[in-house]
Amino acid sequence: MLCVACFFGGRYWDEAIKISRAQPKPVAIPRSTTLTSLHLLAGSSATVSTKLMHNRLLVADPTIVSIVPNTPTTFTVTARRAGSTEITIWDAASEKTVTYAVSVD
């Protein structure tokens, strides 16, 4: 449909070529992201202490692990079943993030 419209519009042909040849822009990953690994056994739990004053916690797959914030700098991770997921925390002041790659056996 774009080609038909450009054919009849004529004067927009160059713009249609530019749009069709445009390369997608790469997505920039923030430099403030840190990746840390955490390994747990199913049914166990661990308390994680960070230097960040977190204001938000996110688990990618809550069927594998659950998290409970204890203080502004600590949280408890409970392993529910085997698998792997990620936990992301955001710093309240600087908007830095830390991502934990969690594997459960």
Q: What is the pLDDT of residues 49-64, one digit of tens each?
A: 988 888 899 999 999 9
CA 98 – CA 93 distance, rounded (Å): 14
Question: Which of 28-37, 59-68, 96-105 has the lowest average pLDDT?
Answer: 28-37
Give the contacts of 9 (CB within 8 A, at least 6 positions apart): none
Is the full-model pTM beyond 0.85? Answer: no
Q: What amino acid is encoded at 71 in this protein?
A: T
Enter the CATH code of domain 27-104.
2.60.40.1550
For residue 8, how many C-alpha atoms fall within 13 Å in the half-sphere facing its CB?
4
Inter-residue contact 77 to 45 (CB < 8 Å): yes
Locus of tokens 């529910």: 80
Inter-residue contact 54 to 93 (CB < 8 Å): no
